[in-house]
Amino acid sequence: MVIVFIGPPGCGKGTQANILKDSILPDLNILTVSSLLKEKSQDESILGKEIKHKMDNGDLIEDTVVISVLKEKVNSLSNEQILIDGFPRSSIQADSLLEIFDNKELSIINFEVDDSQLLQRIKKRSMEESRADDNFFEKRLQIYKKSHQEITNSLKKNYQVTDIQANDEINAVTAKIVDKLGLNWGNLYWLLNTFSIFSPLQEISIGKNSRCKFTSK
């Protein structure tokens, strides 16, 4: 299984990826492109220094570099349960998925969040995590918007792209993703109850013809 999460910075891709790994897919390899690039930027090579300079200034890394770094990591994995976060960010990167994953079927989830919601989340995250890239949030968001439609059009040539409304609470977004991916959600109650995400007697919709009611302790 190969899952691809796309969406603007601050839309919750990382949070949802960790929930899937912690509750349903323990062997899932989460590949965050920003983390892979950050790791490469610590390399003292010319390429490593170039990546570091661009990341420090909030600039995008060239497609060829990003594709190469991701492909190298994917080829090093023995487990084929993979979730990609933060890729593709251009139509060229989107087209490269066929080569990187050798024409495998991919499950692509597109997170949709209002700008006002994104700004609130980023402000909160910057205070809690002190992430350097959040300092360039508005710049990153504008870059994302300029390329997103082109990216989704490229993806749709080869794959089905599923849109997820991610303005909702974490639990509701998780339920939508689990349903769209066709995963076994038997562990979902345990996870959400553990993290106190559900409010008492909250109902969520799982699939078209069923509803589940969870009661938090």
What is the predicted pLDDT for the residue at 139? 65
What is the predicted pLDDT for the residue at 202? 40
Q: Print burial letters for 165-202: b (CB count within 10 Å at least 16), e (below 16).
A: ebbbebbbbbbbbbbebebebebbeebbeeeebbeeeb
What is the predicted pLDDT for the residue at 102? 86
Tens digit of pLDDT for each residue in 4-45? 999 887 788 999 999 999 988 999 999 998 899 989 898 888
Tens digit of pLDDT for each residue in 51-107? 988 888 878 789 999 999 999 899 999 888 999 998 998 999 999 999 999 878 899
Q: What is the dihedral of CA 27, 70, 164, 201, to 10 degrees?
A: 30
Residue 187 has pLDDT above 90, yes or no: no
What is the predicted pLDDT for the residue at 183? 83
Asked if 212 and 204 count as a contact pair (C-beta separation under 8 A), the reply is yes
Mean pLDDT, residues 177-204 taken together: 58
Residue 31 phi/psi, 5-degree rounding, is -110, 105
Residue 206 has pLDDT above 70, yes or no: no
Mean pLDDT, residues 103-124 taken together: 82
Find the length of the chain. Answer: 217
Looking at residue 132, the DSSP 8-state letter turns out to be G
The pTM for the full model equals 0.74
For residue 77, give both structure tokens. Answer: 């994995």
In the chain, the domains with their CATH numbers are: 2-158 (3.40.50.300)
